[in-house]
Amino acid sequence: MTEKMLKFVHLEQKYPHKREASARRTDFNEIYEPFEDSSAADQSSRCSQCGVPFCQAHCPLYNNIPDWLSLTTAGRLEEAYAISAATNNMPEVTGRICPQDRLCEGNCVIEQSTHGAVTIGSVEKYITDTAFANGWVKAPKPTKENGMSVGIIGGGPGGMAAAEQLRLKGYEVHIYDRYDRIGGLLVYGIPGFKLEKDVVERRVKLLEEGGVVMHTEFEVGRDATLDDLRKKHDSVLIATGVYKARDLKLPGAGLNNVYPALEYLTTSNRQGLGDNVPAYDDGTLNAKDKNVVVIGGGDTAMDCVRTAIRQGAKSVKCLYRRDRANMPGSQREVANAEEEGVEFVWLTNPEAFVGDDKVTGVRAIKMRLGAPDAGGRQSPEIIEGSSYTMDADMAITALGFEPEDLPTLFDAPELGVSRWGTVKIDFRSMMTNLDGVFAAGDIARGASLVVWAIRDGRDAADRIDEYLLARKEAAA
């Protein structure tokens, strides 16, 4: 294959939507599409085995990417899977939703030489989907039970990764989650068009087959205190994520049809899962035929605008107070959203939600970027007299998430938290200030990424194991 052809294969696989840019609204081209054996081999063979694996160094799991690419090129997929799974509890998930442009692929030397990165995420997904199809992915069954138990609060990727690692080491593992399904934001936050729900369910089933006990609709704080769980288990891991939406304190914020992002996305995900969702069916939390305004410039805002487009919104606008170059969300997601028909209104800040009972508009004001602040980032400044109102039948606020007040919720005022509300841990031991209580994922590091939650879950499992074995030895 010539260099030019290779580049085309790469572009097609990385940006499959480019082929049918005009097929908007009724025929969505998702981030990935079926990836055949030949494409995987083509992509993996592009790895130059450069000897300086920047891709690996920029993967939070330090995945052995060059080795599994090389094995894929050779068609040795079962071995490629074994190497990939050795450092990652859900490569089929990270392959789909890691922001690869900021992590492994963004640091591929081929990308640096302007030839376009090897599509590492697609190959990772392909290897693991093939492994599932061939029965190579096994439930985590220990060779020997060790007689100790760990309670994990939160069944998101952090809790799931820790559960698998601990189960393999022989612990009895219980996951407690207030949702009715295990998976956390993998199920109820991230839209199905980025991560299919059966991909998450498949992992949950494996954990159950391996003996992990799931307690769904069990809210710590309501159904048990932290202390209750400490008494029941030898150790407890807090992996509850961050769920408190940042408020937008504007006039009219209490009007009907102004929603926080997660409420909107959870409703949409439940509907996609086939649940009975009256708020979707009666049109309340459904963007169909509505003018939708989403406020925010992060990845959650991108998920909202793209969901609204898929629900058949009349128009979808995304308001962000800085410009495109300074938005926090992935540029790849912005490009996807634009192609699907989303209008980005850069350098614009909302001033008020307008309407009597329901929202009918968003009053906004134009901004310009002023002098850089202490961190070097240009601060947005208001352009006086530039206010105007745009139509809105639904407004969604996507301004990020903060931790809930866990010491109060868990009836554990002694639990140490940072000034941002994240659970304080010693990053070497992953332990909180309470003996035998550990924390991992977003609740310890603040809103982050799935791959970091997996990293934390694995690290916490190792530290819990060390702690409990040392305690057992001391007691012997």
Ligand X SMILES: Cc1cc2nc3c(=O)[nH]c(=O)nc-3n(C[C@H](O)[C@H](O)[C@H](O)COP(=O)(O)OP(=O)(O)OC[C@H]3O[C@@H](n4cnc5c(N)ncnc54)[C@H](O)[C@@H]3O)c2cc1C
Residues that bind ligand X (CB under 6 A): 97-98, 153-159, 176-179, 184-185, 189-190, 194, 219-221, 239-241, 265, 299-300, 303, 409, 441-442, 448-451, 453
Bridge-based pairing state of the strands 235-238 and 437-439? parallel
119 binds, among ligand SF4, ligand X, none (CB under 5 to 8 A by kind): none
* Contact set for ligand SF4, span 413-472 (CB under 6 A): 451
59 binds, among ligand SF4, ligand X, none (CB under 5 to 8 A by kind): ligand SF4
Nearer to ligand SF4, 173 or 186 (CB): 186
Using CB under 6 A, pick the residue from 41, 85, 103, 444 that binds ligand SF4: 103
If binding means CB under 6 A, how many residues of this protein chain bind ligand SF4? 15
Q: For the stretch 433-444, what's the b/e string if a residue is b when 16 or more beta carbons lie within 10 angstroms of its beta carbon?
A: ebebbbbbbbbb
Nearer to ligand X, 380 or 441 (CB): 441
311 binds, among ligand X, ligand SF4, none (CB under 5 to 8 A by kind): none
Sign of the dihedral through C-alpha 201, 203, 207, 210: positive
Tell me how far, at minimum, the Cβ of 334 lies from ligand SF4, in Å.
20
Nearer to ligand X, 73 or 300 (CB): 300
Identify residue 470 by its one-letter amino acid code: A
Asked if 91 contacts 127 with a C-beta cutoff of 8 angstroms, the reply is yes
449 binds, among ligand X, ligand SF4, none (CB under 5 to 8 A by kind): ligand X
Tell me how far, at minimum, the Cβ of 95 lies from ligand SF4, in Å.
6
Nearer to ligand X, 343 or 404 (CB): 404
Nearer to ligand X, 31 or 364 (CB): 31
Tokens describing residue 415: 């639990």
Quick one: which of 300, 248, 237 has its CA closest to 443? 237
Distance (Å, whole) CA 361 – CA 359 = 6
152 binds, among ligand X, ligand SF4, none (CB under 5 to 8 A by kind): none
221 binds, among ligand X, ligand SF4, none (CB under 5 to 8 A by kind): ligand X
Tell me how far, at minimum, the Cβ of 293 lies from ligand X, in Å.
17
Tell me how far, at minimum, the Cβ of 309 lies from ligand X, in Å.
15
| Binding status of residue 61 toward ligand SF4 by CB under 6 A | yes
Distance (Å, whole) CA 296 – CA 246 = 11
Distance (Å, whole) CA 165 – CA 442 = 19
Nearer to ligand X, 250 or 265 (CB): 265
Nearer to ligand SF4, 104 or 364 (CB): 104
* Contact set for ligand SF4, span 112-171 (CB under 6 A): 120-121, 124
Nearer to ligand SF4, 104 or 423 (CB): 104
Bridge-based pairing state of the strands 394-397 and 291-295? parallel
70 binds, among ligand X, ligand SF4, none (CB under 5 to 8 A by kind): none
Distance (Å, whole) CA 286 – CA 295 = 17
Tell me how far, at minimum, the Cβ of 410 lies from ligand X, in Å.
7
Using CB under 6 A, pick the residue from 104, 131, 238, 302 that binds ligand SF4: 104
Nearer to ligand SF4, 366 or 455 (CB): 455
124 binds, among ligand X, ligand SF4, none (CB under 5 to 8 A by kind): ligand SF4
Nearer to ligand SF4, 107 or 315 (CB): 107
159 binds, among ligand X, ligand SF4, none (CB under 5 to 8 A by kind): ligand X
121 binds, among ligand X, ligand SF4, none (CB under 5 to 8 A by kind): ligand SF4
Quick one: which of 301, 350, 297, 303 has its CA closest to 326? 297
448 binds, among ligand X, ligand SF4, none (CB under 5 to 8 A by kind): ligand X
| Binding status of residue 39 toward ligand SF4 by CB under 6 A | no
Nearer to ligand SF4, 59 or 367 (CB): 59
Site residues for ligand SF4 per CB under 6 A = 59, 61, 63, 65, 88, 94-95, 98, 100, 103-104, 120-121, 124, 451
